Amino acid sequence: MSQASAHPDIPGLDLAPYLRGEAGALDHLAAQLRETCEKVGFFYIDNHGIPQELIDKAFAASKRFHDLPLEHKMEIPLNANNVGYMPVNASMQRHSKVEVARKPNYNASFFCKRDRALDDPDVIAGTPFMCLSQWPRDLPGFREDVMAYQRAVEALGHTMLPVLARSLDLPLDFFAGHFDPAQLSLRLLHYPRRDESEPDQYGTGAHTDAGFLTFLMQNGVGGLQIRRADGTWFEAPVLPGRFIVNSGDMLRRWTNDRYLSTPHRVLNVSGVDRYSIALFFDTHLDRVMTCMPTCQSADNPPKYPPIAYRAYLTEFLNSNYFNRQQAQTA
């Protein structure tokens, strides 16, 4: 594996040779990706091409937002499309197959999706999850900095698609139609200092991600914990400027359980506030995913029926977010 990793449990992938178009770089990177997705489910990526200045601006925007008075942030409460502000203790990993959640998640989050215009056909039609985002008032530059970051990480996601295809012995353009366009959800996370008197107070309870790939950037403070195959947990180190990426449930299902969706959680015991930014890079909501041809055989038939991501996402959000549960019972 690449030396980009500073932890023996998490491989590191260096994208520089691939991005430069060096001979053999794609095959080498695909082989590394195959190994980590089959054995670990998490990896760092270095030399990804996103300027540090853009990353720094996104974290500065996040802190500016989370520093606003609560009543100001609550003017844009998380809605049924999962965009807007979610205060602490407003979500819980009820859907988790990893551990039984005992308390709500101790984090506050701002969610937004792809930036759309009022005349967008999906906005006009009211298509679920393909909506306008909610933006805070009187916060100049916030939207621009957040969207610049989202566009950059989306481009990185598309850059990784041929590598994933090659890792699965598929045509390099196999994923192109499924991500035209990709479904995006950007989450600006704030983990307040933990109340040491409260047992089992996780920033985010143990879970697996619902989607395809998650690109996470941490800003100096650790707390992300990953579960090994033997059930033990370890903390992922913060590597400045490097993304930590994990494969999610839909990629696992699409590959017939060949690629992992590894359990993880967040426990902020640093004594200071923690900030991170997650970009969930997923297929178009209505593209149907059928077991990949290279992940099935006569001895290993498909384990799951075909499914569109919209159905799985709806079930996941209904199970984990209090605002959707309240809407269903109102």
Residues 224 and 218 sit within 8 Å (Cβ to Cβ): yes
Domain ranges of the chain: 2-329
What are the 10-residue block averages of pLDDT along the chain, 330 residues in total?
A: 64 97 98 97 97 98 98 96 91 59 84 96 93 97 98 98 98 97 97 74 90 96 95 94 96 98 94 96 95 98 94 79 52
Provide the whole-model pTM.
0.93
Nearest to 208 by CA among 80, 93, 306: 93
Looking at residue 318, what is its pLDDT? Answer: 80
The domain defined by 2-329 folds into Jelly Rolls (2.60.120)
**Buried-exposed string 21-60: b where 16+ CB fall within 10 A, e elsewhere:** eeeebbebbbebbbebbeebbbbbbbbbebeeeebebbbe
* Residue 242 to residue 265: CA distance in whole angstroms: 19
Looking at residue 30, what is its pLDDT? Answer: 98
